[in-house]
């Protein structure tokens, strides 16, 4: 079973989800803007991704540019920011068991299929 943290308005997220569906894989879709991950869930995703929090921050978002650009926050502070502002969360994230990938490019999901 795969879980995708998905934004239906994002082309890369839609492409990644389509690859999963085309592979007939079981998938749970989490629309993270409607159901934002908690801080604990973000820490769990970071562990599964094996990436620093910096990789999960969408730096081209207006919200980032207006409120967070140039700020020197700790990892814990960034996790709190992401939990409070899910729009800043990089997407899509696909999880399978203890592994996860960023779907950029969407073909990255093949590693989990």
pLDDT recorded at residue 72: 94
Question: pTM (2 decimals)?
Answer: 0.95
Q: Please tell me the predicted confidence (pLDDT) of residue 5.
A: 98
Query: Which residue shows structure tokens 């820490």?
Result: 43
Active site residue 10: yes
Domain ranges of the chain: 2-112
Of 3, 10, 44, 51, which one is the catalytic site residue? 10
Question: Distance between CA 74 and CA 93 in Å, rounded?
Answer: 22
SS3 content of the chain, % helix, strand, coil (to 5): 45, 20, 35
The Cα-based distances of 51 to 11, 63, 64, 111 in angstroms read 23, 22, 20, 16
Confidence class for position 31, pLDDT limits 50, 70, 90: very high
Q: What is the pLDDT of residues 44-101, one digit of tens each?
A: 999 999 999 999 999 999 999 999 999 999 999 999 999 999 999 999 999 999 999 9
Say which CATH superfamily domain 2-112 falls into: Glutaredoxin (3.40.30.10)
- Reading the block at residue 70, the tokens are 């140039």
* Contacts for 4 with CB less than 8 Å, ≥ 6 apart: 13, 16, 17, 20, 27, 28, 29, 30, 92, 93, 94, 95, 103
């Amino acid at each position: 079973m795969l879980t995708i943290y998905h934004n239906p308005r994002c082309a890369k997220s839609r492409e990644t989800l389509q690859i999963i569906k085309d592979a007939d894989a079981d998938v749970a879709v989490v629309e993270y803007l409607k159901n934002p991950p908690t801080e604990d869930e973000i820490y769990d995703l970071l562990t599964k991704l094996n990436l620093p929090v910096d990789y999960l921050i969408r730096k081209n978002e207006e919200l980032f540019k207006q409120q967070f650009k140039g700020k020197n926050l700790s990892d814990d502070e960034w996790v709190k920011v992401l939990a409070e502002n899910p729009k800043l969360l990089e997407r899509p994230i696909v999880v399978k068991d203890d592994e996860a990938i960023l779907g950029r490019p969407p073909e990255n999901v093949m590693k989990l299929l």
